[in-house]
Amino acid sequence: MAIDQQGRALFTEIVRAMASDAEVIEAVVEAARSDSPAVAGLPIAENRRHIALMVTAGLTAFADRASLRSEDFAAAVQLGADRAAQGIGLTELLRGVHAGRSRAIALTMERSRASGVPAGLLVDVMLDFERYAGELERHVVSGYHAAELRLARTPRDTRIRLLRRLFLEDLPLEELGRAGLSLDRTYCCVVTNVADPGHAQAVERRLACPDGLFGLVEGKLAGLVTRSPSPDQVTARELVVVAPPTPLREIPKVYSTARAALAAAGDRRGLHNLTDLAVETALATQPVLATILAQELMGVLDRADRYHRQLVSTALTYLDTGRRLDQTAAALHLHPNTVRYRLSRLTALTGWSPDGSDPGPLQVARDWWALRTWLATS
């Protein structure tokens, strides 16, 4: 009996330590993002914030509980509610939750075995842990459904649900009249990198027009407008991709392509036409080709060399700013002469010049993607 009590005390100590372990949080975040594309589409800081709250509250409550209380699951309920408000489908949400849960359980098993928790006892305590994890998951679902019910009570939220169905499902087009849309008009599909609901409201007020519609879809603000936004409606912290006017029947395909362009744009900000991102978007679907391009341009450099990475990063920013020396210097907080020197050193080492012989937009896009791929490859 004394051994059993010691083992349980050791297991409790392990779980309590995991609750404040940043490596555990990151491992659970990585698992959730890798198993759910919709969850991965959210900013990683958003994933980390929610999962840190849930893991910390959950493991602490499990380790310290005499009896579980509803407040022990508040973070799980909030996670479900926030994902419903962001337009993440329940199936996608649960894929991320399942993956994160499995990773947390696997880590607990590994650390318990390594710390000497007896094998027989470990089976018993892990059964308790699994039951608790299941209860945590049920509260995520409960929070999701409760938020869905709240969101379905207003005409605006009904319209947003129709927008999500238009973008993601096979929505009968005659239903779009309920959302104030018309089959006789063309619409510009707009997608953004904005995920926070409060920030999304502010951006929507800037971009919306009376006969358009916006909402959080797959975790990010997206919508339809009858006229394209202007650059001055977008701040420096936002990335907005807008497609040309399109009939409603073609919108689902355009939305999918615009989301791909949003991902391909990387760290760019501001307003971008979908057609201007065509090369990057196409190359993003061909990672092997992007790797070959990167090797062709920057193959003589060493990715582990900080100075080499600094040179490539400077060149990438130079292309991002339209090859404007002054804007590159401002973006990197450098003197223009420093930027000029770095670009000349990169040319000396690789033979590649960002200014070339007056490269056209296709060449610039190809080079930009090659540089970005080189930096992203470890």
pLDDT of residue 251: 92
Residue 285 corresponds to which amino acid? T
Residue 211 token pair: 């006969």
Mean pLDDT value of segment 15-36: 83
What is the CB neighbour count within 10 angstroms for residue 252? 17
SS3 355: coil
151-185 pLDDT tens trace: 766 777 778 888 888 888 777 777 777 777 888 88
In the predicted structure, residue 4 carries a pLDDT above the cut 70: no
The whole-chain average pLDDT of the chain stands at 83
Q: Which residue has the tokens 């799980």?
A: 76
As given in the structure block, the two tokens for residue 120 are 């027989």
User: Is residue 242 within 8 Å of residue 274, measured between CB atoms?
Assistant: yes
234 closest CA partner among 204, 278, 265, 275 = 204
C-alpha span between 299 and 293 (Å, rounded): 9
Model confidence pLDDT, tens digit, residues 221-262 = 999 999 999 999 999 889 999 999 999 889 999 999 999 999
Split at pLDDT 50, 70, 90, the class of 2 is very low
**Rounded to an integer, what distance in angstroms lies between the CA atom of residue 268 and that of residue 34?**
23
